[in-house]
A and B are shown apart, each in its own frame.
Chain A
């Protein structure tokens, strides 16, 4: 769910796997697109978005986190 990796842009560098503080990602097979294995543990902090060298990651904020405005 939350972090979405664009498979066409991803260079399989593993930066997201490296930095995610919740250990959301894993790269089960070397040199492939990382898998958001533990997506439920995402803090939506955006570290993966920031660290991705090719901007291949976006966060999808789940509906229950919707900001309520007037």
Chain B
């Protein structure tokens, strides 16, 4: 196996929105920066095909008081309730600066010359989601990073982070060629996005049909944990909703009313398509679609009938920027006219909303290690804002930090190389997909929509058995398979931690339904941190300062 040692001040693991923003900023404060991305930063990650809602506070639109904006963020789906107050305030305060930056780089942040707020709206409340045309945002960010001297290395899957006496050495494999990349970095920014593929997709047999990028498999979380950093609320999950079976985020862009089969709106917010509001029913009533199905009163439809031609074109325009172009193409091909045909909506797969704990400076609990974006879910604006901040912190930190020496971690590196050689060399054994399916099955049954002490304990045993199998029997037939296998290793590690944390959180809250503890306990309005101890995972409760 060819090995390449690469030195840098700042290594951005993942070139999504957060990673590229971190790279741009770190390089502006004088650091030598490398972005290593599993795919190609131009179209990678959940934002690769575009987005259209950017949460922000613009004083000239919202007025001088940022409080209503802050309150709406606290209540929003992008992770408000379980964040420190200072984190949320920093986010709201900084968001407009990022909007202006993006605008100066050529990402269209205005609609017909003005700042346009629409979608995810409640009647009578402020609108906090700025409509922006994000279809080509990632080529813009990649270009801006390169302009500042950032080196982008595509097709490298980072899979391990070694913390050797406080020095960080990161390992990645080339997903197409025989090459192991060993990074000696003064600081590392994790930005690998969400953790998907732990739970089954809404369509059997189509593992990659999920709402968020199926290529984000929590690698950053697994790496952070191994390097000693704390993960937060890893047991909490979330689910998105949208057109049934065609799993894709973007429901906030629809202009229609969620209705039952008789045509009655399921929520109290809108009775006819409303361009400004959308229909918040599904944002707020997360289990609506299942509740209707279970009671025999479903299905629930997104009904755009009655929409004006102008609003219809407006919606199509934004769906295209929202990464939903392939969905629109499909509708056209199938001659499904949204103006006439209500479309069934449903909830999609579960995925983690918790992740790497990082604060308002992007710092994790390990010195020199930073994280941003969906490492702890926060949508586009969260990723852009805290990516920028984390890049600033990492760049500044690197000024006085020493370069690590990978030789000191040699035995660890050799052990990893050995694991890789074995996976590539085994004649017989399960492929990654078989292991991933087994994992999803356990997660769904034992740590899925219903959790309890007995279920979780049984599931933990199963996951540990599976982990052992994965470590010792996986077969990778080529480099692509190898990358997928390393993803599964990370997923199984995270699954074990999820079970432990889910056992510890004895209450019901945000996608963590403990039937044996059926209510939300205000005393547990806290972060549950899990980190690696000498004898296994250690858990700690951390209070939230509002």
Q: Which residues of A contact B175 (CB under 8 A)?
A: 23
Interface segment among B337-345, B373-381, B404-412, B526-534: the answer is: B337-345
The answer to the question of B203 belonging to the interface, with a C-beta cut-off of 8 Å to chain A, is: yes
Query: Does residue B323 face the partner (Cβ distance < 8 Å to A)?
Result: yes
Question: Using an 8 Å CB-CB cutoff, how does the interface string of A30-56 with B read, 1 for contact, 0 for none?
Answer: 000000011011111111011100000
Find the A residue at minimum CB distance from B330.
A61
Partner of A69, one of B40, B203, B343, B480: B343
**Using Cβ atoms and an 8 Å threshold, which residues of chain B touch A40?**
207-208, 433
Q: Is A65's CB under 8 angstroms from B209's CB?
A: yes
Docked Cα-Cα span, A18 to B43, in Å, equals: 10
Shortest CB-to-CB span from A2 to chain B, Å, is 9
By beta carbon, the residue of chain A nearest B209 is A65
Q: Are A22 and B215 in contact (CB under 8 A)?
A: yes
Are B204 and A67 in contact, CB atoms less than 8 angstroms apart? no
Q: In the complex, which residues 8-43 of chain A have their Cβ closer than 8 Å to any Cβ of chain B?
A: 18-23, 26, 37-38, 40-43
| B residues near A68, Cβ cutoff 8 Å | 244-245, 299, 343-344
Q: Contact between B343 and A20 (Cβ–Cβ < 8 Å)? A: no
- CB distance A62 to B330 under 8 Å? no
Judge whether B329 and A21 touch: CB under 8 Å: no
The reply to whether B344 and A21 form a contact with Cβ atoms under 8 Å apart is no
Contact (Cβ within 8 A) A21 B209: no
A38 to B, closest residue via Cβ: B480
For residue A23, which residues in chain B have a CB less than 8 angstroms away from its CB? 39, 155, 175-176, 480, 483
- Determine if B208 and A47 form an interchain contact, defined as CB atoms under 8 angstroms apart: no
Main secondary structure of the interface of B (DSSP, over half): loop
Q: Is B169 an interface residue (CB 8 A)?
A: no
| B246 is an interface residue with CB less than 8 A from chain A | yes
Task: Please tell me if the beta carbons of A45 and B48 are within 8 angstroms of each other in the complex.
Answer: yes
Contacts of B330 in A (CB 8 A): 59, 61, 67
> For the complex, is B325 an interface residue (Cβ under 8 Å from A)?
yes
> A37-B480, A62-B206 known; A67 and B244 CB under 8 Å?
yes
B205, A64: Cβ atoms closer than 8 Å: yes
**Set B203, B207, B243, B326: member contacting A46, Cβ < 8 A:** B326
| Distance of A17 Cα from B146 Cα, bound (Å) | 21
Q: Hey, what's the 0/1 contact readout for B478-490 against A, CB within 8 Å counting as 1? A: 0010011000000
B208 touches A65 (CB 8 A): no
Q: Which residues on the A side are within 8 Å of B299 (C-beta)?
A: 68
Question: What bracket does the count of chain A residues touching chain B fall in?
Answer: 20 to 34
The number of residue pairs between A and B whose CB atoms lie closer than 8 Å in the complex comes to 111
Q: Residue on B with the closest CB to A68?
A: B344
Q: Are A49 and B329 in contact (CB under 8 A)?
A: yes
Q: Please give, as numbers and ranges, the residues of chain A lying within 8 Å of B213 by CB-CB distance.
A: 21, 43
Q: Is the CB of A67 within 8 A of B480?
A: no
Scan residues 107-161 of chain B and give those whose CB is less than 8 A from a CB of chain A: 155
CB pair B246 A22 closer than 8 Å: no
**A44 engages B326 (CB within 8 Å):** yes
> Is the CB–CB distance between B329 and A47 below 8 Å?
no
Check B336 for interface membership: any CB of A closer than 8 A: yes
Q: CA separation between A45 and B43, bound complex, in Å?
A: 10
Contact B209 A44 (CB under 8 A): yes
A47 x B48 contact (CB < 8 A): yes
In angstroms, Cα B334 to Cα A66, docked, is 10
Known contacts A19-B42, A21-B43, A41-B208; is-contact A65 B480 (Cβ 8 Å): no
Report yes or no: B336 in contact with A67, Cβ–Cβ below 8 A: yes
- B45 and A61 within 8 A (CB): no
Which B residues touch A70, using CB under 8 A?
301, 341-344
Q: Which of these, B45, B334, B341, contacts A21 with CB under 8 Å?
A: B45
**Contact indicator A42/B48 (Cβ below 8 Å):** no
- Docked CA distance A45–B327 (Å): 8
Query: B208's contact among A22, A26, A50, by CB below 8 Å, is which?
Result: A22
Query: Given A65-B209, A67-B244, does the pair A51, B43 have CB atoms closer than 8 Å?
Result: yes
Instruction: Name the B residues within 8 Å of A67 (CB-CB).
Output: 243-246, 330-331, 334, 336, 343-344
Q: How far is the CA of A21 from the CA of B45 in the complex (A)?
A: 7
* Residue among B40, B301, B323, B326 making CB contact with A19, cutoff 8 Å: B40
Question: What are 12 sample pairs from A and B whose C-beta atoms fall under 8 A apart?
Answer: A20-B40, A21-B39, A23-B39, A23-B155, A40-B433, A41-B484, A43-B215, A49-B326, A50-B325, A65-B246, A67-B246, A69-B344
Known: A18-B40, A59-B329, A61-B330. 7 other contacts (CB 8 A): A19-B39, A19-B40, A23-B155, A50-B325, A62-B206, A64-B204, A69-B344
Q: Which 9 A-B residue pairs are closest in the complex by CB-CB distance?
A: A46-B326, A21-B39, A68-B344, A47-B43, A64-B203, A69-B341, A19-B43, A70-B342, A21-B44
List residues of chain A with CB under 8 Å of any chain B CB.
Answer: 18-23, 26, 37-38, 40-47, 49-51, 59, 61-62, 64-70
